[in-house]
Amino acid sequence: MAIHIYCTGCYTSNGLNAKSCSNCGAVFGRDKKYRVCVSVKGNRATRVVANLTLARQKEATLQADLERGEMDIKKKKKKAPTLNEVWTKYLPWAKEHKRTWDDDFLNYRKHLEPRFGKKRLDTISSLEVERMKLELKKGTSKQGKPYSQATIKHQLVLLKRLFNLAHRWGLYTGESPMNRVEVPKLDNGRTEFMRDDEVSRLLKTLDTWPCMVSVAFVKFTLLTGMRRGELFKLTWDDVDFERGMVTLREPKGGKTQTIPVSSMALEVLKGLEVTSPYVFPGKEGRQRTDFKGPWLRIRKAAGLPDNFRFHGLRHHFASTLVSAGYDLLVVQKLLTHKDSRTTQRYAHLSPGALKEAAVKSADLLNPKANGKVVNLNKD
């Protein structure tokens, strides 16, 4: 037997001393409801009532009726929700908790909904998920290109998250097929940088490019290594010209950070004539959301490789610093990498670091006598 505070928002039970719902955070007021659960000899009855006094009375009544066998208990198994039903609850949650919820929206509409949207969770098997993986591996996008491993992984991660949240929210108690599905491991160690002649061609192209905002966007990225999304959100209030600092609002790591930038990078911004609060505005002065079109045109005009991504400018910035001998920790701070392991991809570019350490190790191993180094090679 049990009496709990019943959350009418997410349909979960909470302790009698709870001030708010442990699942959705809703604050319980004077009009809170109570759930009464009574079980006798395998028969179970549940009721929801308006106050605690009624809950205690109902608990006693239900127990007596069950013990006398006067209740017709029909053990009816609750149907599992469809994936679409879980999705309708997930989307509002994602908009509040995920900055990339729109990616989930596109992935669900394009890949998951057509295959599994109308199916109940307990009918989605690991075999069907594996079939989706195979179809995506053999399929192509609208542009005629094969789906990448990253795209396939996104679908599997989203599907797994929907099952996990369905469990957490009490919508589904069955097994998840994702427990037996292997998610592809990605090799994110790809490092892109340009040769000197490619940098020269890019800068020459930018010198004659008609759109000054696009020119500034590329040059500023090349000089700072900032992420595209960080530049989309950059406002003039975030740029401190006097101190040579730029504030990044909610970068990929999650925490707002202020980093130094070069005087040359600031000169790029001073040359802009925009009236929007955003440094690199989109249409009608609003926040920019994409730079794919301008970059593809600039890349083609500069004769850069077709597979050189805009993100490669960030890699080039980091590679240039490491190749010049700057410490990886310094590069990590400038790139706002949360994990030092992400910066380690550039370690191999450090000039002669391993060779220098190997040479100096000989001196370190030579014992000193009377302040002089003893040559261990001497017979």
HEC sequence for 305-357: CCCCCCCHHHHHHHHHHHHCCCCHHHHHHHHCCCCHHHHHHHHHHCCCHHHHH
Q: Can you spell out the DSSP letters for 104-120?
A: HHHHIIIIIHHHHTTSB
Token pair 């101190």 is found at: 243
Amino acid 322: pLDDT: 81
**Mean pLDDT, the chain cut into blocks of 10 residues (379 residues total):** 83 86 84 87 82 88 78 63 95 86 91 95 94 91 82 93 94 91 71 83 95 94 90 94 90 78 93 91 89 94 90 87 81 80 69 59 58 48
How many Å apart are CA 161 and CA 196, to the nearest integer? 45
- Residues whose CB falls within 8 Å of the CB of residue 96, separated by 6 or more in sequence, listed in order: none
Q: Which of 174, 220, 190, 177 is nearest to 307 (CA)?
A: 190
Contacts 24+ apart (CB under 8 A), 191-198: 191/315, 191/319, 191/345, 191/346, 192/308, 192/309, 192/311, 192/312, 192/315, 192/316, 193/312, 193/315, 193/316, 193/319, 193/320, 194/304, 194/308, 194/312, 194/316, 198/302, 198/303, 198/304
Amino acid 190: pLDDT: 56
| Tokens at 225, concatenated | 């290594």
| Tokens at 117, concatenated | 């949207």
Q: Which of 149, 344, 296, 314 is nearest to 229 (CA)?
A: 314
The model's pTM is 0.55
Amino acid 365: pLDDT: 62
Amino acid 357: pLDDT: 59
**DSSP-assigned letter for residue 87:** H
Amino acid 376: pLDDT: 44
**DSSP-assigned letter for residue 273:** -
Amino acid 189: pLDDT: 52
Q: Which of 318, 358, 344 is nearest to 222 (CA)?
A: 318
Q: Which of 49, 48, 37, 43 is nearest to 68 (CA)?
A: 43
On whether the CB atoms of residues 60 and 67 are closer than 8 A, the answer is no
